[in-house]
Amino acid sequence: MIFSEVLHAQTAWNFVGPAGGAPPRVVRLASDPRTDSVLYFAAPGGGVWKSTNGGSSWLPIADSLPSLEVCSIAIDSRSPDVLYAGTGDDQNPRPLQTVARSPDGGRTWTTGPRFTNQPVCALAVDPANSSRLFAGSSEGLFFSQDAGTSWNKIVAAPVTSIAFDNQGSLYAGVLSDDSSGSRNNILIRSSDGGSTWTNISLPDSPSASNSQTTWVSIVAYANTVSLTVSYQLNTSGQGSASLAKANPSLMDFYRSTD
């Protein structure tokens, strides 16, 4: 769910959506690079919502999609009216897993081909080439060079997050099973558009048994070579000793400036 802040002596928050369908929750946010006023969010059970006033109010814009289970959203930075939405929901039945495209800021949508059997909960558009898209699901990292018309798998491991930095490097949060059966968080980077990858070390990266859920989340900043990485684990009694955790599922949060 998403809230808008009301500024007064005692800060309060007002619920503005979404509601209905699957358990409503906001899982991805995106902003128009041309203005701070235009924002979007993806919500499983709520579809895609848009604000044109900086988040004070929101309207659903993707009710025409075959499913309102939307768990990712990406904006083409070269043509910001072009939006992509990844469908499916890892916490509910998955009626459709694909990427939908809107050429007009969410007024109309076209659903692309199904290329994975799992929710598409990670999306990124190459800032240097609008035709190049990357999508992640628990089945792997997929690449399209024709704006989502067709897809090929380029990484065969669960992918939870994708981001480009302002130098054009591509990052992906990947879950990898080791020989002991533990599932580890891995951050990988590609400087050639996904052809080759390099592992990036994260301090004290947690692991979990295969029956648990763990993921890496990445945020890249537009104006600096900075990257924020967080990872989570659905269990209790684990985490960094240097952090006092109100929520034991929160693991660690890192920022890189190089």
**This prediction's pTM:** 0.78
Residue 131: how many other CB atoms lie within 10 Å: 13
Q: Which of 246, 224, 165, 234 is nearest to 200 (CA)?
A: 165
pLDDT exceeds cutoff 60 at 17: no
- pLDDT at position 39 is 93
How does pLDDT run across 138-170, given as a tens digit for each residue? Answer: 999 999 999 999 999 999 999 988 888 888 889
How does pLDDT run across 113-122, given as a tens digit for each residue? Answer: 999 999 999 9
Return all residues near 128 (Cβ < 8 A) that are at least 6 apart.
168
User: Which contacts qualify for 226-229: CB closer than 8 Å, 24 or more apart?
Assistant: 226/165, 226/255, 226/256, 226/257, 227/163, 227/165, 227/171, 227/255, 227/256, 228/253, 228/254, 228/255, 228/256, 229/173, 229/187, 229/202, 229/253, 229/254, 229/255, 229/256
- pLDDT at position 244 is 28
Instruction: Of 153-162, 221-230, 237-246, give the range with the top mean pLDDT.
Output: 153-162
State the residue for tokens 């929710």: 119
Q: For residue 236, which amino acid is it?
A: S
pLDDT exceeds cutoff 90 at 61: yes
Spatial contact of 228 and 219, defined as CB atoms under 8 Å apart: yes
- pLDDT at position 183 is 64
> What are the tokens at 52?
């044109």
Lowest mean pLDDT among 8-17, 49-58, 132-141, 178-187: 8-17
Handedness of CA 40, 41, 44, 45 (dihedral sign): negative
Lowest mean pLDDT among 10-19, 69-78, 240-249: 240-249
How does pLDDT run across 87-112, given as a tens digit for each residue? Answer: 988 666 556 789 999 999 999 999 99
- pLDDT at position 88 is 87
Q: For residue 77, which amino acid is it?
A: S
Comparing 4 with 90, the larger pLDDT belongs to 90
Q: For residue 136, which amino acid is it?
A: G
Omega before 24 within 30 of 0, i.e. cis: no
